[in-house]
Structure 1
């Protein structure tokens, strides 16, 4: 980074205004940037519908923008035919959530079709299509998030919002259109790298699924093993670990992707102050959520600590490789068995206690060395995916840093 840019950054951090810059309600920006009314940059759209067959139901997320809602959230049966409760989002339209825009909940429909979203969202399009990609990044940039938080209204923090009428009345300094286009071209180069990395990760995940499907079913065998697989009950491979009173151990949480320290999870800690009944889990155990095992919430533990009494802890016997079984427990056909053996009148109350888990029959290699060999191959696939994901995070951080410099005018694009 050039010395003049470093000096400019340090001055702004100290609250000083560098030469050629001016302090505005949106932060310190180049003096040559001119104010623009948002009502001249964006046009509101209010097309309503109840035709979910014609316009698939999508949602706006902070992580991935406008994405398709899962079947679990399909509320078509709640919509009366004479009610238009959803808003149509055409290709390249933007949607924003008034309650969450201060966290970055605004995105463009980048699919190739018109979709619909909750009628609560506000929908708009750019007045000039050349601004489209620039606005992808500008509207979620740090200066804008900071500004949204400044102007949002509401008596309670959880009810604060930015009304669309406010949004259109914004009058903020911006670079000229020519510079906006150059900024979007620079950031688009980062986007292409990120998209390529995401495709690599998706391909690796598909490859892993294919390997799991074949190796964990016995359809394909490793050449060095030829003993016949046998169908056995889970009780042949596992006992239940029920140790407690380990109150000085680290509190862990079992998620669908792994067992991690509770301190690494955002959000309120709802665990009981009295940890005397919490269960001890050791490295090499498998823990699962008794209420959600039928949804695949289980994991191999690489930590020693305690977990909620709501979890079930499996201790592998000498004839079982826990890592192998942790992968097996992610296979759809095995998860369906967990569903079948779970008890409860409705899905929300289904639970798989060890007394039922132990009765489940599975077809597996009895040679523990074959179990270990299969687990090693899948573990290597996980390491490759993890490395690609780390590289993806680096790319995202590099883009974020460049956004901060370009969209605040600290670095000029022209």
Structure 2
């Protein structure tokens, strides 16, 4: 089993492989019985704790506690995963930096536990189980809705940049690896005929940029620090002008590419291309970030394993680019900008409603396990 920040103690098989793989030998792994309290010794300060509902084994790096009969296990799970007690875990942990902080028993043993009468604990736990189940079901429904919206967005872009907007137009074979048909009046070119690789360095006075899978080329300051920190020296960083096509050389096969709307500099590990006037930059951004062209990037990349795969120019230069007439490209861009803005706005509103539900869930649990709401039957 494993302990997750957002789910508590769950079977390892349900975690999606997001934690460390288990050791080859499980001899030192510890048995956990239902009702035991388990905490990740180095991540408890973040809330990686929970009372188990399952029987299983956990890493020898975890701490396991048998709880007093004064604590209802379900109530204890809510209390120990609630903000107040997680703050106690933080105060009970010591370490260097903000990543690994180990729990210290002389501090943890003094953490305060609230103990309503056992019957009241069960009432609180029962109330929270019903309420959080309703909230979780609504969050799951809204999350599925967002997934469907994203699928619709992607399908709309795919159709527009490979079929156009006129459904009655005659079609022809594209000759690309995808095997798609495309409008008869569109041209197909190799990537090398519509692009020219450039590398302009020594421009440290402009802003730093990065390429994200889901957002394309954006200022580094807007990325939330989710990519590697820049080098101390920016001398070798490359200038990108608006309209340049940028790809992360090792992650392009996953879709880490985009046409920039900004002026800035990017890592020397990136590839930067100036695009032909036959390509509208916004149309190119939609096409190059669409699945068909990302698949071309995959075919143009080589490497060991599934993490780092470098683009090889002899392969990339032959990737197929679809070229509608330039006026039609602009029409497609205008259509996609309107449609994707509507979808993105709806996604953002739905995500905000999910955040509010989660905030309500947290506030409800906090109020219940700290006695702010009275759930006892009326006298």
Confirm or deny a common fold (TM above 0.5): yes
Report whether the alignment pairs 1:181 with 2:126: yes
| 1:392 corresponds to | 354
Separation of aligned partners in 1, 2:150 and 2:62: 33
| 1:223 corresponds to | 167
Cα deviation, 1:88-130, whole Å, max 9, x if unaligned, reads: 99999986422112111235889xx9998756456789999x9
Kept in 2, the 8 Å contact 1:134–1:184? The answer is: no
Kept in 2, the 8 Å contact 1:284–1:301? The answer is: yes
- Residues 241 and 108 of structure 1, relative CA distance in 2, 3 Å threshold: farther
| 1:101 corresponds to | 44
Report whether the alignment pairs 1:202 with 2:164: no
Offset, 1:402? 4.2
Q: 2:90 aligns with which of 134, 144, 149?
A: 149
Separation of aligned partners in 1, 2:242 and 2:375: 52
TM-score (norm 1): 0.65
| 2:15 corresponds to | 68
| 1:262 corresponds to | 220
| 2:329 corresponds to | 368
Kept in 2, the 8 Å contact 1:208–1:378? The answer is: yes
Report whether the alignment pairs 1:299 with 2:258: yes
Kept in 1, the 8 Å contact 2:158–2:291? The answer is: no
Separation of aligned partners in 1, 2:316 and 2:193: 11
- Residues 391 and 237 of structure 1, relative CA distance in 2, 3 Å threshold: farther
- Residues 325 and 188 of structure 1, relative CA distance in 2, 3 Å threshold: same
Q: Secondary structure at the match of 1:172?
A: coil
Q: 1:238 aligns with which of 150, 174, 195?
A: 195
TM-score (norm 2): 0.70
Cα deviation, 1:35-61, whole Å, max 9, x if unaligned, reads: xxxxxxxxxxxxxxxxxxxxxxx8654
Offset, 1:293? 0.8
Separation of aligned partners in 2, 1:153 and 1:207: 47
Q: Secondary structure at the match of 2:138?
A: helix
Q: Secondary structure at the match of 2:211?
A: strand
- Residues 156 and 75 of structure 1, relative CA distance in 2, 3 Å threshold: closer
What are structure 1's unaligned runs of at least 5 residues? 1-57
| 1:55 corresponds to | none
Kept in 2, the 8 Å contact 1:246–1:278? The answer is: yes
- Residues 92 and 339 of structure 1, relative CA distance in 2, 3 Å threshold: farther
- Residues 360 and 118 of structure 1, relative CA distance in 2, 3 Å threshold: farther
Separation of aligned partners in 1, 2:297 and 2:34: 41
Q: Secondary structure at the match of 2:113?
A: strand
Separation of aligned partners in 2, 1:125 and 1:204: 45
Separation of aligned partners in 2, 1:247 and 1:73: 38
Offset, 1:189? 4.3
Q: Secondary structure at the match of 1:384?
A: helix
Q: Secondary structure at the match of 1:254?
A: strand
Number of residue pairs matched by the alignment: 349
Kept in 1, the 8 Å contact 2:92–2:105? The answer is: no
- Residues 269 and 352 of structure 1, relative CA distance in 2, 3 Å threshold: closer
Q: Secondary structure at the match of 1:294?
A: helix
Offset, 1:247? 1.9
Kept in 2, the 8 Å contact 1:324–1:375? The answer is: no
Separation of aligned partners in 1, 2:297 and 2:270: 15
Q: Secondary structure at the match of 1:385?
A: helix
Q: 2:300 aligns with which of 341, 363, 368?
A: 341
Q: Secondary structure at the match of 1:253?
A: strand
Cα deviation, 1:355-409, whole Å, max 9, x if unaligned, reads: 7533312455454246425633445433432332233233333444444444444
| 1:11 corresponds to | none
- Residues 246 and 330 of structure 1, relative CA distance in 2, 3 Å threshold: same
Offset, 1:290? 1.0
What are structure 2's unaligned runs of at least 5 residues? 171-182
| 1:252 corresponds to | 209
Separation of aligned partners in 1, 2:259 and 2:193: 18
Kept in 2, the 8 Å contact 1:291–1:351? The answer is: yes
